[in-house]
Structure 1
Amino acid sequence: MKKILFSLVCLLLATTSFSQNPIPESYLGYPLGSRFSFHYRIAGYVELLAQRNPTQVKLIPYGSTYEGRPLMVAVVASPENLARLETIRTDNLKSIGIMAGTPTGKVPAIAWLSYNVHGNEAVSSESVMKVLYELLNKDNKTTQDILKNTVVILDPCINPDGRDRYAQWYNRVMAAQPNPTPWAWEHNEPWPGGRYNHYLFDLNRDWAWQLQKESQERIKLYNQWMPHLHADFHEMGSSSSYYFPPAAKPFHKDITPWQREFNNILGTYSRKYFDKNGWLYFTRNNYDLFYPSYGDTWPTYNGAIGMTYEQGGGGRAGVAIAREDEGDTLTLSSRIDHHFATSMSTLEAISSRAEQTVKEFVSYYDRAQKEPIGTFKSYLVKTEGDVGRALALQELLDKQGIQYGLVGKNYSGKVTSLTTLADESAKFESKDLLISAYQPKSSLLKILFEPRPELEDSITYDITSWGLAYAYGLKAYGSKERLTPTATQVLKVTNEVPSQPPYAYLARWDSFNDLRFLTELLTSKIRLRTSNVPFEIDGTTYGAGTLVITRKGNENLGVDFDRMVTGIADRLGVTLVPAQTGFVTSGSDFGSGNVAPLTAPKVVVMSGNGVSPLAFGEVWHFFEQQIHYPVTVVEGENFSRLPWNEIDVLILPTGSYSKILTDNALTQLKEWIRNGGKLIAMEEANGALANKTDFDLKRKSKENAAKDKESPLKLYANRERESASDDTPGSVYQVKLDTTHPLAFGYTGDYFGLIRSTYNFEYLPEGWNVGYLEGDSYRAGFAGVNAKERLKNTLIYGVQEMGQGEIIYMADNPLFRGFWYNGKLLFGNAVFR
C-alpha cells in the first residue's frame, strides 16, 4: 500500500510539474542575465514550453544554419486562434491576393518578432525566453488581452551560428565575477566576432537579396504568413542608451501615411515603460527607413509595420560594463528588461489597433493590385544575349514572391531605360521578361527596380542606390502602359546532344552563370579552352572569352563527354552551340595560341586580424556557395610561412595590412608575383601597395585640393552634414571598361558599379587601366559634392604586369554583400583568366 501511495504522489507531482511553465531561470539553472545562454538551451526552453502548452504554442522549424543549428519560430495564440491557425494563415494570404480564394473568417493581427540577427547582440535571445513565458502566463492580464486578437510569431534567434561563436568565447573568458572594466579581456572580442553568420555576412542587410541560407529559409516562411507587423531587436554601442521609433529621416517616399502614423504609435507605447522606470532612450536619430534590405524596411515594403529596436550594449558589453560617461554599470539584466519592455509595448500597440492594422494591410495590397504606385505600370527585360542575367533575376523574383512572365509575342512601345532614364522606342520579343505592376507585391517591385530613389535627407544609414537594372547589368525598361504577360512559362535552357558528335561545344561568356559553368567543368576535370579574341564560325560571331570545350583532351570521358557537358549547361542555364570544325572564318582557329587552355588555379584568400570580416566572408561565400570552387583560407599571421610555389592566386580582401605586409612580406610577395603569381587586391588592401616600390599604383597627389578651397568658417552644429559632402555611401557610377582586356571579357560596354568610397588612385602609367571613371560618371544615389569631384578621372580596376605574374587592383569590390550580380563575372575574370 505504501508503494502504491508513493507512486501516486510521484505521478501527481510529475503531472503538476508538467502542466506548469518553468521560468527561464528554473530551466537554465542560473539567473537570467548572469551569463550568456547557448543556442541549444534557448531552443530547448522554447521547445519545452511548446510541448507543455500545445493549445497555445505551435513550433515551426523552418531550416538550419550552415553549421547545422536549428532555425524555428514559435507561434503563440489563444486556444481558439491556435485551433484555426492554418485557416488564419491562408485567410490572410487570400485577403491580400497572394493565395486564390475568399477568406472564410476574420483575420486577427499577426505580429512577428525577430531576435538576435547579429550574433553578438546577444541580449535579445535572452529576452525572448521571458517574452514567451509571459505570453503564456495566465496571471499576466496584459499578455492575455494581447492574445485575444493577436497571433504572435517569435523567432528566438535568427543567427544561431554567430550567437554561439560569441557565447562560447564570452563564457570561456568571463571572470568568476564579471569584470566591468572596459579594457578587460571579456570586453575585447577576437576576430571575426560573433556579429556575423558562418560566412561572415550581415544577415540584417540580406533581407532583400537572400544570399544566405538563413535568410532564404526564413523569408520563405515569412512569405507563407505575411505578418502585419515585424519588429527587429538589436544592440548598439555600450555608451548609448536605447532607441525605439519614431525612426529617423530619410523615410522612403512610398511608406504609407498609416505606416508613418504607426511608427509614432510605437514610440508612444514604448515611452510608457521607459518613462515609468526612468530609463534613458532616444528617437528620430540614426536609424532611418530607406535601404530596402533591412529587417524593418523589407517588411515595410511588403505592407507591414516594420521597426528596429536598439539597446545600448553589444558584444563589448558582456554581462556588465562600466560606463564612464554615464557614471554607471550597464548590466545584461537591465538590457534584458529593456528589450522585454519594447517587446510588450510592440504587442500592446498592435493589439490596441488590431482591426485597423489588418484593414490597412488589406487596403495596401488592394491598392497594389488596382492602383500600383510609381510611374511605371509594367517592367520589361530584354533576354537576347542576356539569358544568364535574366535567369538570375527570375530567381530573385521568386524569392520575393513577385509574379512575372514572358512577353509572349513581339511588342513595340515607348519605354524608359532603367539605367539611363532616357525615353525611347523599343522592340521586345516573345521570350523577353514582362513584370506587371498590377500584382500584390507591386510596391516591393517598384522599390527594388527604381533607378534613382528619392532621398529626403543626405545623411543616411546605408547605401542609397540598388536598382536591379544596375545590379544585374540588364537592359530593363519601365512602361507607363499596362501590359499583361501572354505566356506564363519562365525562361529555360535545354541543350540536346547532336546526332553527330561535335568537334567542340561553344559557350558564350557574358554572365555569372557562364562562370559557374566554367568552375563546374574545371572541378569535373573536363578540359577546355577559351578564345582571347573574337571569332566567327558558321556565320555567327562570338566575343572574346568564349569557352571552347573540345573533344580533344577529353577522350578519357568517352561517350560520357557529351552527356556531362550538356547536363551541366542545362542545370546552369547555359546555351551551348555545337561546332563541327575547329576552323573559323575569322579570328583564331581552336588550335591557335589565342585559344588558350584554362586550368584550375590554386586560390588562397587572406583572413584574420586586420582583414574586414565582411569582405573576407564575401569572397569565402563566393567560392564555396556561389561557384562551388575550392579556396584555401589562411590567416595573416601565417603570411611569411606560406608555400608560395603551391599558390596561383592570392586574394587580399579589404582591411588594414600594415601588420601583415611588412617590408619582408612585400619582398616575398613580389618574388612570388614575378615567378607567375597573381595578386588580387581589393578596396583598402590597395592602400598597402600604393606608392610602394615596384607597385605602379599611386594615390592622387592633390587628394585634398577640393577641401583646401572650402571656407574654414563652418557651424559646429552642421558638422555631420558637412562631412556628408565627402561621402558616397553606395551610389551608382558608370565605369568605363576596356572590354578587350581579359579582366573585362563578357562585358559589352560600360559597367555600372556601386561606389562606396572616394577612391583616389591615379591611372596606371605602365599597366592596363581596365576600369575607370571619366569626368562626371555619377548616375544614381547620394554622393557628396567633394566626393563627386574626387571620383573624376579615377582608377577603379587596373592590371599591372610584374615579371611572369600580375597584380589586379580592384579599388571597388564587385562582391559587395553578394547582391551586385553584374560584378561577379568581373571578379571571376580576375581569378580564372
Structure 2
Amino acid sequence: MYRAITTIVALLFIFTGLATHAEPIGYFTPDDVTYDPAIPTPEAFLRHELGAQPVRPDRMVDYLRTVAGLSDRISIETIGYSHEGRPIEFLVVTNPENQSRLEDIRTRHVALSNPDSGTQPNDSMPVVTWLNYGVHGAESSGMDAVIPVVYHLAAAKGDAIENTLSQSVILITAIFNPDGHSRRINHVLKFMSDVPVTDPAHAAHDLWIDARTNHYWFDLNRQWLLQTQPEAQAWLSKWHQWKPNVTVDYHEMGSNSTYYFHPGVPNRKNPLIPDRSRQLLKDMAHFHAKTLDRDGTLYFTEEGFDNYYIGKGSTYPHINGSVGILFEAGAARGGAIETPNGVRHYAANIRKHFRTSLSSIEGARSLAPQLLDNQYSFFQEAKEQGQKDDIRGWVFTSPDKARLAHFLDLLERHQVQAYALARDVTVDDHSFQAGDAYLVPVAQAQYHMIKGLFDRVRSFKEAIFYDVSGWTLPLAYDLDYAALNKKAWRADLSGDEAQAHMAWPRAEAPDRASYGYVFSWEDYYAPKALNRLLAAGVHVRGAMEPFSVLTSKGERHFSRGALFVPLAGQDDVDADSLYEHVTSVTQIEGIPVHAVTSGLTPTQGADLGGRSSFQSLNTPHVVLVFDDGLSKYEAGEAWHLLDKRMQIPVTLRAKSDLMGLDWSRYSHMVLPGGRAALNSRSTKRLEQWIKEEGGTLIALRQGAAWAQQALLNSGGNAKGKDKAQAPKTSQRTDYADYDVEEAKDVIGGAIFASDLDITHPLGFGYQDRLIPSHRNTTLVLATPQNPYATIARYLETSPILSGYASDKRLAEIAGSPMMVAERLGRGTVILFADDPNFRATFLGTNKLFLNGLFWSKAFRAPRSIGDEEENALAH
C-alpha cells in the first residue's frame, strides 16, 4: 500500500511538472526502522514529496496537528503568532507514560536550575532536547526537516524508539519564522520551471534577506537576547518553561559550503560559557559524525562559526545551563543548484538535517547523566560565583518610565530577578532614589545572564566576531546605572520584586483646562502621542526653551520640547473633543497631562503664545527607501519603530523607483545604510525637494556618508580606510594570519558614547548630554563648518563604552560627528553615523531619530556673509 501511494504521488508530479529532486519518505528514514501505517506519510498528506518545493507554512501546521492528533506520543499547542498572524506550533514528544505525567517531569527538571530547590539529577529523569526549525525563512530545509522528524517520532516502531522516548522529552518548535518562510516559498514557486534549473544565476535561487527575516525584516536569530519580536517572545517563554539540556538550531549557509555542526572556532567562545559546555559539544559531535560518515556526507566543525554573541540560538543556551548546537547545510535555494562540490539538492539537505536531528536526540539520551549534571552544576556554580563577585549588584533608573518598564520586561523574559530599590544609594556622586530605581543582585541563578546584560566588555582574545561584540543593554536603553561593589552593597537595599506590568507608566486624566494642556517630550512614547494628536487635526506647539507654567495643580516646570495644546486656534476640534484627545495621552501612553490656566508664564521670555519660544508642529508624512542594495535590516528597524511602536504611517518605496513618486505628498524621507547612493536623476530631484519644497532627509550610516558628500558638499572618510598607500618597506604578514590581522581594525558591533547638544531641537527630550549608540561601521562623517550642525559628537577620549574597536579606529572616530543636521534651502538634511534604531533595542537613541520627524524645521542655519538668500529661504 505504501509503495502504491508513493508511486502515484511520484507519477502525479512527473505529469504536473512540479518535481525537482523530490523524494519519498523512505529516502530520509533509516533503513532498519518500520513505521506505523496509521500515521500518514508526508507525501500522502501534502500531495507532493519532500524536496519538490518548500512546504507552505499552513500545510506544515496542518500536518503537524494531524500527526499529533493521531499519536499518543505527541502533544501540541500554539504558543504564539507572527506579525502576519501565522501560528507557531510547539510539540512535546515522549512516550505515553511520560505524557501522562508531563507537568511533574517538567517541574522536577526545571528545579535542577534552581540552586535553592535541593533537587539533584538522578537516573529516573528524562533528558530534555529542544529542536529549533526555521528561524531564518530563506533557509527552507531547516524548516521542512521538522516534517520527517515528527513523522519518525510518531510512527517509528521497535525497541530503539521506545527506549529513546521513555528516556527523553523532545521539544519541537515549528515554524520559528512563518512569515519569512511564506515569502520564500512564494518566490520559489514564482520561478519554478518544468525542467530543474541548477544555474546559480537563475532567479529562483535568489531572495535572501526578504525571506531570511520576519515581517519587519528582523533577523530572528538575533532575538534570543533582545526580545522585541513576537515570534522570539513566544519561543523564549516556552524555552524557559522547560530549560532543555540540549538546544539544536537548524540553518543553511552558502551553497558552496558542505555541512557544518558545532563546536565552533575554539578561541571565539564567550568567556561566560563554561569549558564543560564546549566538551559536551565535542562529545555530541561524535554522534553527528557517525551518522554523516555512514551517509558519506562532507562536513566540517570548529571553523567559521563561533559561540560569542549570547543572543543567538546556538549560544544563548550555553549561558543558561544548556548546550546549543548549530547545524548549517549548504543551501540548495531554488531546489537544485550547481556548486564546486556537485549539484546541491534540496531534498538531500532535508535528509541531512533529519539525520542529525535523530543523532542529536540519540546523543542527548546517551549523554543524559552528563547533560543533567551540567544543568545542575551550572546553576549551583552561578550562585556561588555571584556570592564571590566583587560586584554585588546593579542599580538602574531613568526619568522615562516607559524605557524602564521595557527593560524590566526584558529582564523578566530572561528570568532575571529585579527589585524595587528600598533605600537611597549614591554611587560615584550619582544618587539613585528609592521608589524611582531598581536593583538586580548578582547572587542569583541567572548570574551569567546578568553578567552578559550589564558588563561592559573591552578585552577580547580575538577581534573576529560573527556578530556584535558589545551589547550592554542598559546602555542601549540609555538608563542611568551603576555597579554596587561590596562596600556599597547592603542587604536592605532590595524592596519588593519588580514586575514590568506594574512599572508601566500610568497617569490620571487631566483636569479640564481653561487655556490649554501641556505634557513632556521626554517620555519614550511622546512622539506617538503627538502624532496621534496631529493626525486628529489638533494644533500642537512645541517649546524651544525651558519654561514654567501655571496649571490647575500649581506651577510646573518643563524642559525644551514640551508640548502645548492650546484651546485657541483649534478650528476643527471643539473643547470636548480636545479634552478626549489629550486624555488619551494619559490612558494610552501613560504620560501626565497638565491643565494650563494662563498663557502668561513665570518664565521670562517664554509665554505660551510666544513667537520664538514655541513653534507649531506638523504631521510627518514619511517615505522609507528600501531595496536595491540598501540595508533591509536598517529599513526594517525604522519601519518597526515608526509603524509598530509609534503608529506613524510609512510609505515604503524602492530606491530604483523614486522618480515615480509624487514628492509633494511627503515631508520626510529616510535613507538607510548599505549601497545608498542614488542615481543622478534621483539625487537632483531629492536636492530640489529639500531645497525648494522643504523636505527633510534622514540618512543613516552609509546613507549619511553619501548624503554628506552629495548634498552638503562635505568630505569625510566614507569608507573609513586610509587613502595613503602602504610604504614600500611595510612589514610582511603570513597569509595564514589573514583572518586575525584583517579583523584588527574592524569595529565589532560596539557601543560608543557621544556628547549630545540637548539644547538643539533635535536633542530635545534628553536630560543627559552623554548618549550611547551602536556602531558597526568604520565610516567617519566630516565635521561641518556650521558650528551648530554637529548635534552629537563622539567623545574625544575613551569614546567606546562596550565592545571591540581597534586603537586605529578609535583615533579616527574620536571627536567626529555621530549626528549632523544642516538646513538646506527650505529643507533639512539629518545624518546619523550610527543606526539609532539598531535591532529595535536602542530605545535610548530612538528619540533622536523621531526628533528628526517632528523638529526638523525648528532650527535655523547660521547667518554668514554671502548666504543671506539661502538663510531667508530656510526661515
Is the TM-score greater than 0.5?
A: yes
- Structure 1 residue 62 displacement after superposition: 0.9
User: Is the alpha carbon distance of 1:669 and 1:111 closer, same or farther for their aligned partners in structure 2, counting shifts above 3 Å?
Assistant: same
User: Counterpart amino acid of 2:133?
Assistant: Y
Counterparts of 1:396 and 1:281 in 2: how far apart (Å)? 37
- How many residues are aligned here? 799
CA deviation digits over 1:7-63, x for unaligned, max 9? xxxxxxxxxx9961122223223332232221122212211210110x210011112
- Structure 1 residue 545 displacement after superposition: 1.1
CA deviation digits over 1:500-551, x for unaligned, max 9? 6364443332342333333333344443221011223466543211222333
Aligned counterpart in structure 2 of residue 406 of structure 1, from 415, 420, 430 = 420
On the 8 A contact 2:705/2:833 being kept in 1, the answer is no
Counterparts of 1:203 and 1:391 in 2: how far apart (Å)? 22
Instruction: Give the secondary structure class of the aligned counterpart of 1:798.
Output: strand
Counterparts of 1:176 and 1:99 in 2: how far apart (Å)? 63
- Structure 1 residue 657 displacement after superposition: 3.8
Aligned counterpart in structure 1 of residue 455 of structure 2, from 445, 450, 466 = 450
- Structure 1 residue 443 displacement after superposition: 2.1
Alignment-derived partner of residue 473 in structure 1: 478
Alignment-derived partner of residue 14 in structure 2: none
Instruction: Give the secondary structure class of the aligned counterpart of 2:193.
Output: coil
CA deviation digits over 1:637-680, x for unaligned, max 9? 3211211111111111123244xx22222221111111211111
Alignment-derived partner of residue 757 in structure 1: 777
- Structure 1 residue 99 displacement after superposition: 11
On the 8 A contact 1:66/1:213 being kept in 2, the answer is yes
Alignment-derived partner of residue 435 in structure 2: 430
- Between 1:813-822 and 1:388-397, the stretch displaced more is 388-397
- Structure 1 residue 407 displacement after superposition: 1.1
- Structure 1 residue 793 displacement after superposition: 3.5
Alignment-derived partner of residue 559 in structure 2: 543
- Structure 1 residue 779 displacement after superposition: 2.7
- Structure 1 residue 607 displacement after superposition: 2.0
Q: Would you say 1:349 and 2:363 are equivalent positions? A: yes
On the 8 A contact 2:332/2:344 being kept in 1, the answer is no
Alignment-derived partner of residue 194 in structure 1: 211
CA deviation digits over 1:658-716, x for unaligned, max 9? 4xx22222221111111211111111123433433654464479951577469252221
Counterparts of 2:569 and 2:538 in 1: how far apart (Å)? 8
Alignment-derived partner of residue 738 in structure 1: 757
Q: Would you say 1:334 and 2:352 are equivalent positions? A: no
Aligned counterpart in structure 2 of residue 123 of structure 1, from 120, 141, 149 = 141
Instruction: Map 1:292-307; keep pairs closer than 5 Å.
Output: 292-307=310-325
Q: Which runs of 5+ in 2 are unaligned?
A: 1-34, 856-875
On the 8 A contact 1:72/1:156 being kept in 2, the answer is yes
CA deviation digits over 1:209-260, x for unaligned, max 9? 1111211222222232222221110010000111111122321112123322
Aligned counterpart in structure 1 of residue 600 of structure 2, from 574, 580, 583 = 583
User: Is the alpha carbon distance of 1:310 and 1:108 closer, same or farther for their aligned partners in structure 2, counting shifts above 3 Å?
Assistant: same
User: Counterpart amino acid of 2:391?
Assistant: F
- Between 1:784-793 and 1:89-98, the stretch displaced more is 89-98
User: Is the alpha carbon distance of 1:448 and 1:147 closer, same or farther for their aligned partners in structure 2, counting shifts above 3 Å?
Assistant: same
Counterparts of 1:700 and 1:32 in 2: how far apart (Å)? 47
On the 8 A contact 1:159/1:197 being kept in 2, the answer is yes
User: Is the alpha carbon distance of 1:518 and 1:347 closer, same or farther for their aligned partners in structure 2, counting shifts above 3 Å?
Assistant: same
Counterparts of 2:198 and 2:263 in 1: how far apart (Å)? 32
- Between 1:442-451 and 1:538-547, the stretch displaced more is 538-547
On the 8 A contact 1:262/1:305 being kept in 2, the answer is yes
Instruction: Map 1:52-67; keep pairs closer than 5 Å.
Output: 52-53=70-71, 55-67=72-84
Counterparts of 2:77 and 2:458 in 1: how far apart (Å)? 37
CA deviation digits over 1:361-401, x for unaligned, max 9? 13333444454275422211134x34333222122223323
User: Is the alpha carbon distance of 1:520 and 1:228 closer, same or farther for their aligned partners in structure 2, counting shifts above 3 Å?
Assistant: farther
Alignment-derived partner of residue 418 in structure 1: none
Alignment-derived partner of residue 819 in structure 1: 841
- Structure 1 residue 138 displacement after superposition: 3.6
Counterparts of 1:119 and 1:702 in 2: how far apart (Å)? 33
Counterparts of 2:184 and 2:506 in 1: how far apart (Å)? 47
Counterparts of 1:207 and 1:493 in 2: how far apart (Å)? 26
Alignment-derived partner of residue 6 in structure 1: none
Instruction: Map 1:767-806; keep pairs closer than 5 Å.
Output: 768-776=789-797, 777-806=799-828
Aligned counterpart in structure 1 of residue 263 of structure 2, from 243, 246, 252 = 246
On the 8 A contact 1:388/1:514 being kept in 2, the answer is no
On the 8 A contact 1:91/1:103 being kept in 2, the answer is no
Q: Which runs of 5+ in 1 are unaligned?
A: 1-16, 416-422
- Between 1:231-240 and 1:795-804, the stretch displaced more is 795-804
Alignment-derived partner of residue 392 in structure 2: 377
**TM score, norm. by length of structure 1:** 0.90
Instruction: Give the secondary structure class of the aligned counterpart of 2:386.
Output: coil
Instruction: Map 1:602-681; keep pairs closer than 5 Å.
Output: 602-658=621-677, 661-674=678-691, 675-681=693-699
Alignment-derived partner of residue 302 in structure 2: 284
User: Counterpart amino acid of 1:761?
Assistant: L
User: Is the alpha carbon distance of 1:122 and 1:701 closer, same or farther for their aligned partners in structure 2, counting shifts above 3 Å?
Assistant: closer
User: Counterpart amino acid of 1:629?
Assistant: I
Instruction: Give the secondary structure class of the aligned counterpart of 1:754.
Output: strand
User: Counterpart amino acid of 1:522?
Assistant: L
- Structure 1 residue 769 displacement after superposition: 1.3
On the 8 A contact 1:380/1:477 being kept in 2, the answer is yes
Instruction: Give the secondary structure class of the aligned counterpart of 1:194.
Output: helix
User: Counterpart amino acid of 1:333?
Assistant: A
CA deviation digits over 1:147-189, x for unaligned, max 9? 1211001113211111111111112212212111222232233
Counterparts of 1:283 and 1:407 in 2: how far apart (Å)? 47
Counterparts of 1:639 and 1:263 in 2: how far apart (Å)? 50
- Between 1:554-563 and 1:97-106, the stretch displaced more is 97-106
Alignment-derived partner of residue 321 in structure 1: 337
On the 8 A contact 1:379/1:478 being kept in 2, the answer is yes
What is the root-mean-square deviation in Å for CA atoms of aligned residues? Answer: 2.7
Report % sequence identity. 27
Aligned counterpart in structure 2 of residue 68 of structure 1, from 82, 85, 96 = 85
User: Is the alpha carbon distance of 1:377 and 1:759 closer, same or farther for their aligned partners in structure 2, counting shifts above 3 Å?
Assistant: same
User: Is the alpha carbon distance of 1:479 and 1:614 closer, same or farther for their aligned partners in structure 2, counting shifts above 3 Å?
Assistant: same
**TM score, norm. by length of structure 2:** 0.86
Q: Would you say 1:170 and 2:194 are equivalent positions? A: no
User: Counterpart amino acid of 2:828?
Assistant: E
Alignment-derived partner of residue 29 in structure 2: none
- Structure 1 residue 104 displacement after superposition: 13
- Structure 1 residue 98 displacement after superposition: 10
Counterparts of 2:536 and 2:378 in 1: how far apart (Å)? 50
User: Counterpart amino acid of 1:341?
Assistant: R
Alignment-derived partner of residue 35 in structure 1: 53
CA deviation digits over 1:575-601, x for unaligned, max 9? 344443222222511111221122211
Aligned counterpart in structure 1 of residue 226 of structure 2, from 199, 206, 209 = 209
User: Is the alpha carbon distance of 1:670 and 1:171 closer, same or farther for their aligned partners in structure 2, counting shifts above 3 Å?
Assistant: same
Aligned counterpart in structure 2 of residue 275 of structure 1, from 287, 293, 301 = 293
Q: Would you say 1:831 and 2:853 are equivalent positions? A: yes
On the 8 A contact 1:602/1:649 being kept in 2, the answer is yes
